[in-house]
Amino acid sequence: MKKVVCYGVCYAFFIAFAIGYILNKNINIFSLVCGGIFLTAVGGIAAKLLWRYAPKFTLTHINIKINFKVFIISWICILCAYIPVWLAFYPGIASYDVNIQVKYVMENHFSTHHPILHSILLGGLYKVGCVLEKPGMGIDYYTLIQMIILSAVFAYAVAYLYASGLSKKLCICYAVFYGVFPINSILAVSATKDALFAVLVLLYVMNMLQLQEGELSKKAIAGNIIITVLMLLMRNNALYAWMVSMPVMLLIIKKNRKKFAVLQFCILILFFVFSQGLIALTGAEKSSPVEMLSVPAQQMARVGYYHEEVKESSSLSRFIPEETIEQYNPYLADNIKFYMNSQNVRNNKKGFINEWITLGIEHPKEYIEAFLYNNIGFWYINDLSHTDIYGDKEGFGYLTDARLSYDGNPIGKEHSYFPLLKQIYHNCFVENQYLNIPIIRLFFSPAFWWWLLVFIAVIIYYKGDRNYMLPIVFLIVYYVTLLFGPTCLIRYMYPIIVCIPVLLGMIRKERKEE
């Protein structure tokens, strides 16, 4: 069975590469056959290598006692690495959904579409700044708080790895990664929920590893409850990933299964108590059901886009107007989802489902292609669609340094103390000049981090240590939820990216000692 998994994963990677290549290129049958033969041969070689070297990896046991000195030094170094980037984009990057979340608080009109807890934190600080007649102070303080939190959690991860026996050199490498790698430094100064959510996922992964290594002490239980509840409150799809992964975890867990099940049930109850409490406190409205229809919307719109007779039919147009179908973008569901007739969808759910099923039966090819195009960046390592999702929209590329506005005023008055550094980051990751650097560009691909997680999962599965599979299961299920989202952006993949050093560190240490 282990051999089947090793070979299956390697072939899956090359099959994904082939499918992605086919979707992005117009190729003839001869090239397709030749490419298939080549990829089959390469996949076989890769599988044999993985099967050969997998036994040489070993998993280290987890030492729960963290070296405080290593933590403090790492924290200071990582935080100091963020400060120049912060000053370059001072008072911080106010982009993505910041304007909507600020509007929630300023107008006291919330929605569950965005995490209420994060909206209160972000919008609350902005409102305090407005009360003091210094609106920029809010985004300034938010960014500073976020930098401190991220650097502290990353420092804890480094200290965690050091306590587990990882060499000092590798710990330094991971500290440099957390402090200097552009994805980390830019998102650390970006007012987006993804940054705080990512470090909560990282804490969750480390806590789950520690929880299974030792006994269920009061301290461990308290940590698991606090971290998990906050994580679930910080991102809507985290709840789906957690609830789906939990039964799987209970099946593979070794010891304290009943206690662990009770603990997770208590967490679920507490989450709903806090979640409903926040909704009652803010009077938040439920988000539109259309928000969950990214994939069906893309599939139906693709059929209408390529089949004129379907587009003009009343059965489809009552849910997706013709002018909306004309805006179809295979890589971004927002163009369709936000302009569907949500009222008709809400009032006629059965009719919508029937139409979706009927079109799928009649046009299966378009449905499959719509799904694959919409999430291609998550599995095709050579994809470029995620670098230019918003087209010519100013300030948006692989990452963004755009400054959104509320009520006609920019959220935070921009004043760069290091304009040259800002220009370098802008050119590389907004204008996407990093794509001109061979090999290095792959490290910025969302799919690269997915396949690295799969590689780690295969090694852990091969070694047969169930303790390590618990957080892996959650990360894999979280990844699956991304495939049904509106598009592929690197920030959606960020929780997995920050967890990779910890998981990778766990399987490298003993290998070196052997």
User: pLDDT digit string (tens) for 348-380?
Assistant: 889 999 999 999 999 999 999 999 999 999 999
**What three-state secondary structure class fits 332?**
strand
Higher pLDDT, 468 or 119: 119
Q: In the prediction, which pLDDT does 443 show?
A: 93
Q: What percent of the chain is predicted at pLDDT more than 90?
A: 47
User: Counting beta carbons within 10 angstroms of the beta carbon of residue 385, is it exposed (0 to 12), middle (13 to 18) or buried (19 or more)?
Assistant: buried
User: pLDDT digit string (tens) for 148-169?
Assistant: 999 999 999 999 999 888 889 9
Q: What predicted TM-score, i.e. pTM, was given to this entire model? A: 0.90
Q: Is pLDDT above 70 for 46?
A: no
User: pLDDT digit string (tens) for 279-306?
Assistant: 999 999 888 778 888 999 999 999 999 9
* Contact present, 193 and 183 (Cβ < 8 Å): no
Question: Is the bond into 182 cis (omega within 30 degrees of 0)?
Answer: no
Cα–Cα distances (Å) from 500 to 108, 336, 380, 475, in that order, read 39, 34, 19, 10
Residue with tokens 């099940």: 261
Token couple for 123? 């919008």
Q: How far apart (Å, rounded) are the C-alpha atoms in residues 92 and 187?
A: 10
pLDDT band (50, 70, 90) for residue 505: confident
